[in-house]
Amino acid sequence: MSVTIVMSSNKPYLTRAFYEWIVDNACTPHILVNANYPDCHVPLDYVEKNGEITLNISPLAVRDINMTNDLIEFQASFSGVVYTISVPVRAVLGIYASENQEGMFFGYEEDEPEEEGSKIQDKPYLKVLE
């Protein structure tokens, strides 16, 4: 008998942990983001030609940062204009300290449409195989 445990992504947990580690070490956390990912709201004038944007998310650079398992949201100023930034965690390509590039990088993730009845949202489940 084999038991399959389907766990949620570790990416949001690693992102939050690296954020805290970088800040605790008096460095500046930056995230690299796939700005073309669905529901990614960043200032388009600052997106690179390859569709990526690097965002400084240090406590001194942003306001009201909220990092959940699904989204990273905060307010930041670009050339004196305040933007509300919303980045799906799946769009995060990496988090690192700008001073030394220490951190973690992730691969690109595709936007996966939900299939009817195939996903239990945010709840792991067990499956018994005989």
> What does DSSP say about strands 29-34 and 52-56: parallel, antiparallel, or unpaired?
antiparallel
pTM above 0.85, yes or no: no
Q: What does the pLDDT read at residue 124?
A: 52
Q: What does the pLDDT read at residue 115?
A: 42
Query: Residues 44-63: pLDDT tens digits?
Result: 999 999 999 999 999 999 99
Low-confidence residues of the chain: pLDDT under 70:
111-130
Q: Where are the domains of the chain?
A: 9-110
Beta strands (DSSP E) in the chain are 2-6, 29-34, 52-56, 62-67, 71-78, 81-88, 92-97, 103-105, 125-129
Task: Choose the CATH number for 9-110 among 3.40.50.1000, 2.30.30.220, 3.90.245.10, 1.10.490.10.
Answer: 2.30.30.220
